[in-house]
Amino acid sequence: MMKLGMFLEGSGHHVAAWRDPDVDPNGRQTLAHYLDIARTAECGKFDLLFMADTNATFGADDVDSWTRTTQASRLEPITLLGAIAAVTERIGLVATATTTYFEPFHVARFFASLDQISGGRAGWNLVTSLAVAEAYNFGRETHPHHGDRYVRAREFAKVVLGLWDSWEDGAVIADKQNGVYFDRSKLHFLNHKGKHFAVRGPLTVHRSPQGHPVIVQAGQSDDGRDLAGETAEVTFTVQQELEAGRAFYADIKRRAAAHGRPPGAIKVMPGVMTVIGRTRTEAAEKYERLQALLSPELAIKDLSSQFGFDLSTYPLDGPVPDPRTDLEQRGRVKVMVDLARRENLTIRQLYKRVYGQRGHRVVIGTATEVADALELWFRGGAADGFNLMPLTFPRGLEDIVDLLIPELQRRGLFRKEYEGKTLRENLGLPIPENRWVVERTQKDAG
């Protein structure tokens, strides 16, 4: 079965979504808006809700540009997903947290808590941070280099995983008679000392019903894919085209195998912006309505910040120049440049293809046509599922749940009922064994 994520994003995934006549532009700051989305997504039997995050505004770096987008303000995802946990029962809750600016103890504790209060539905999207400006909010003058960020990310993940094993299952005995709350032999100190972190532990949250939160990752570079192969259980990606999608899929499974992990241990879920109508014309009109609101000036600024130099001096209808080679977001920019080269796009054509949907693949059509496009990738060895990105909220999500999901179910590609209560059960991922239990079992056997 296909795995489906619902990527939450304020008013919708198109950069102009907040200007759509059907959208309440203030909704994105209210709890009611997200609860409504979460309930609808759970009715649609989505595996998970996903929230991206940055700790600074990113994109073009001038405040005048920000005033024309919704980018400068967003709710903090772990807090929001905590509230959503209270009104949902089955859907997974995946939030983003950066390894570049946070401390592993914080991240381990936040996500372990979300996992407990949701009954085992939490996931951590491990990122090394896209927004260079995050540095200025954490006492730094510069954003660490790409390679350095991944060195820290590796150690960070190791510490978080170690902390999540602090408590064995069944550690709490709550023996009222003798006044013993937990079994000392089932609590473990980590005592980690590495290049970036010194963390004694133990974590102050018990082991959750799914062992520990699911680890999600979305790096596209070599370092990013390596880290995914080693630790991630879900990986989001930005491929636009089937062959590139297949190559990415095979590469991730190969890297996982190099770490002794079976192919099913990591689910590859490309992001897809869906635009669904009852007819193809209706769908195309929805998309074009928002495309017409794109500002060429903002689009060029955004593209320039991604390419690493000012593109406004280049002819809009001329060829796309090569980006800088020392870029921070090299993986995502490569996907864009490959698209431009493959289809011989001009700068204007490129921004029209990528800016509105923030670099993700877009599929426009009837539910049947969108289901065909997803099925092709799913059966074609390019995806285990998809992270769906509605054009607008809530209308675009309602189109998915009312039209697309029944079509996928009819084809036997998507569940009609949740398989289990935890995110791992629904994704078909095993419950990770606690390292201390494994060690003890091996000792006993040996």
Residues that bind ligand FMN in the complex, under the rule CB under 6 A: 52-54, 96, 98, 127-130, 218-221, 223-224, 236-238, 271, 329-332
CA distance 190 to 410: 49
* CB-based contact 316:330 (threshold 8 Å): no
CA distances from 249 to 237, 334, 412 (A): 9, 17, 22
Whichever of 70 and 96 has its CB closer to ligand FMN, that residue is 96
Smallest distance from ligand FMN to CB 147, Å: 10
Cα atoms in the 13 Å half-sphere on the side-chain side of 278:
1
Smallest distance from ligand FMN to CB 334, Å: 9
* CB-based contact 193:159 (threshold 8 Å): no
Smallest distance from ligand FMN to CB 279, Å: 30
Whichever of 53 and 302 has its CB closer to ligand FMN, that residue is 53
Write out the DSSP string of 180-211. Answer: EEE-GGGB----EE-SS-EE----SSPPBTTB
Smallest distance from ligand FMN to CB 356, Å: 16
Whichever of 84 and 269 has its CB closer to ligand FMN, that residue is 269
Smallest distance from ligand FMN to CB 324, Å: 14
Structural element, H or E, at residue 132: none
Residue 59 token pair: 């994109």
Smallest distance from ligand FMN to CB 144, Å: 12
CA distance 352 to 296: 9
Whichever of 205 and 382 has its CB closer to ligand FMN, that residue is 382
Whichever of 237 and 357 has its CB closer to ligand FMN, that residue is 237
CA distance 219 to 216: 10
CA distance 370 to 38: 22
Smallest distance from ligand FMN to CB 412, Å: 27
202 preceded by cis ω (within 30°)? yes
Whichever of 96 and 366 has its CB closer to ligand FMN, that residue is 96
**Helices within 259-401 (DSSP H only):** 280-291, 296-307, 330-342, 347-354, 367-379, 395-399
Whichever of 203 and 272 has its CB closer to ligand FMN, that residue is 272
* CB-based contact 164:112 (threshold 8 Å): yes
Smallest distance from ligand FMN to CB 149, Å: 7
- Give the DSSP letter of residue 346: B
Q: Is 324 helix (H, G, I), strand (E, B) or coil?
A: coil
Whichever of 11 and 96 has its CB closer to ligand FMN, that residue is 96
Structural element, H or E, at residue 31: helix 31-43
Whichever of 100 and 166 has its CB closer to ligand FMN, that residue is 100
Write out the DSSP string of 212-245. Answer: SPEEEE---SHHHHHHHHHH-SEEEE---SHHHH
Specify burial of residue 284 (Cβ count, 10 A radius: 0-12, 13-18, 19+).
Answer: middle
Whichever of 128 and 231 has its CB closer to ligand FMN, that residue is 128
Smallest distance from ligand FMN to CB 77, Å: 9
Smallest distance from ligand FMN to CB 188, Å: 30
* CB-based contact 233:94 (threshold 8 Å): no
Q: Is 350 helix (H, G, I), strand (E, B) or coil?
A: helix
